[in-house]
Structure 1
C-alpha cells in the first residue's frame, strides 16, 4: 500500500512531496512477539534498544517499510520513528494501553472486583518505558524539518523509565480503585479470558454514564497488552541518538498517564 501511494506521488510532475515519516515501534528489536509460534523462538537484544542494532532474523514488515522509503532518496527524504507503548487518547486505536486499562478498571469498579495486575513477576519489578503521543508528534515534525535529521532512524520514548509496580499504584489512584499488589502466589490471572465476556458490562457502563457510544471489542485489545506485560526482558529504548541529533523532547511518564486519562474523560470515552 505504501509503495502504491509513493509511486503515484513521486511520478506526478506537480508533486510537492519532499519527506515521508514512517512510524514503527520496538517490535523492530523484539521481533514478532504476538505470533504464538515464532514468539517462543525470540531472543531480543539486551536493553536499552539501540537504532543500529541488527535486524532480528524473523519476518517483520518494518524492515521492508524502511527499505522502501529509503529507495526514493534523494528525491524524497524520510525519517523512521520507533516508538514504545503509546500513551494517548483515541477511540480508533485498539492497542491503546491506557484505554484498555481504563475500561478494565471501570469494569472492576462496576462489578466490585479487584484491579489485579495481569502481567508476570518480571514486568512487575523490571523497567519499562512508554511514548507520550505529544512527544512522538514533536519528534516527527522535528525530523521532517531538520536537515541533519533526515534519512535517519530514531527511537522515541518519554526519556524516563518506570516499573509496572509503581505505575499500577498510580493507575489505581487515578481510576479510584483499590491497589492490589502483585502476588505470584495467587496464581496466573488469565484476564484475557475473564474480560472476553465483559462486553455487556461495558455496554451498561456506557449507557448509564452517557459515554461516547463504543463497543468494548472495538476500542481495546486485552490480548496485545497481555503479551507486553508477560515478557521476560526489559522494554527500554535509548534516546541518546535523538538527543545527539538535537531533539530534546521528553515527558514525565506518571504525569503523562494522568494527563491522558483526563483527556479520555474529557472526550467522554471513559467516566
Structure 2
C-alpha cells in the first residue's frame, strides 16, 4: 500500500513525507511468543542510531521504502512510544482505553489484570504526548537540517507497567493483581466484549 501511495505522490506537489512508527523498532517482536524470550532489553533512553535488531520488523521495511523515494521528496521518521492525549476522534488513546477497562472491572467486580506480556510487565516503558508528537512532525517538515532522518519522540519519563499498574489500581480503587501468564491473552478482550 505504501509503495502505491509513494508512487502516486511522485506527480504531486508534496515536498515532505512523515512516517510514524514506534519503539518496537528497538525492542523487536515483543508480541511474538516464539521470539519474545530472545529479546534484548535496552537501558533507557533509546537512541536513533542504534543498529537494527536481528528480528523481522515491518518498521524496517517501511523506513527503507520511504528512504528509497528521497529523490522525489524529503522524509522523516517519527518513533513514538505509546501515544496518549485527548482526542475526540481517536480510538488509539491508551489512557482512555485503560480507564474504560478499569471502570468496567470495578463495576463488574472483576480483577484488573494486565493484558500484556511478561517482557512489557517487567521492562521499562515510556509514553508520547500526542501534542508533542504533532509539534515534532511540523518542526521536521519546515526545518531543512532535520530532513531525511529518524527521531524518537517520548515524554522522557520511564516506568515499568508493574509499577504503573499499582498506581492505576489506586486511582480506580481496585485490588492490585500480579501479572499472570495464563490470563494475559483472554482477559482484556473478553472483558471489553462482554461489557
Within the alignment, does 1:68 sit opposite 2:65 as a pair?
A: yes
Listed as ranges, the matches of 1:184-263 within 5 Å are 190-199=183-192, 201-202=194-195
**Partner of 2:27 in structure 1?**
30
Q: How far apart are 1:19 and its partner, in Å?
A: 0.2
Alignment-derived partner of residue 44 in structure 2: 47
Structure with max Cα Rg: 1
Q: Distance in 2 between matches of 1:112 and 1:180?
A: 10
CA distance in 1, matches of 2:17, 2:131: 19
Count, aligned residues: 194
Deviation (angstroms), 1:33:
1.5
SS in 1 for 2:26: helix
For 2:13 and 2:43, the matched residues in 1 are separated by: 41
- Name whichever structure is richer in strand by fraction: 2
Higher fraction of helix: 1
For structure 1, list consecutive stretches of 5 or more residues without a partner in the other structure: 203-271
Map 1:1-271 → 2, pairs under 5 A? 1-10=1-10, 12=11, 15-88=12-85, 89=87, 93=91, 96-117=93-114, 127-164=124-161, 167-172=164-169, 174=171, 177-183=172-178, 190-199=183-192, 201-202=194-195
Q: Distance in 1 between matches of 2:123 and 2:40?
A: 18
Q: Give the stretch that moved more between structures: 144-153 or 36-45.
A: 36-45
Classify 1:91/1:39 alpha carbon distance in 2 versus 1 (closer, same or farther; 3 Å).
Answer: farther
What is the TM-score of this pair, normalised by structure 2?
A: 0.81
Secondary structure class of the residue paired with 2:36: helix
Scaled by the length of structure 1, the TM-score of the pair is 0.61
- Per-residue CA shift, 1:209-249, capped at 9, x if unaligned? xxxxxxxxxxxxxxxxxxxxxxxxxxxxxxxxxxxxxxxxx
8 Å Cα contact 2:116-2:184 kept in structure 1: no
Q: CA RMSD in A?
A: 2.9
Q: Unaligned 5+ residue runs, structure 2?
A: none
The structure-2 alpha-carbon separation of the partners of 1:145 and 1:173, relative to structure 1 and needing over 3 Å to count, comes to: farther
- Secondary structure, counterpart of 2:152 in structure 1: strand
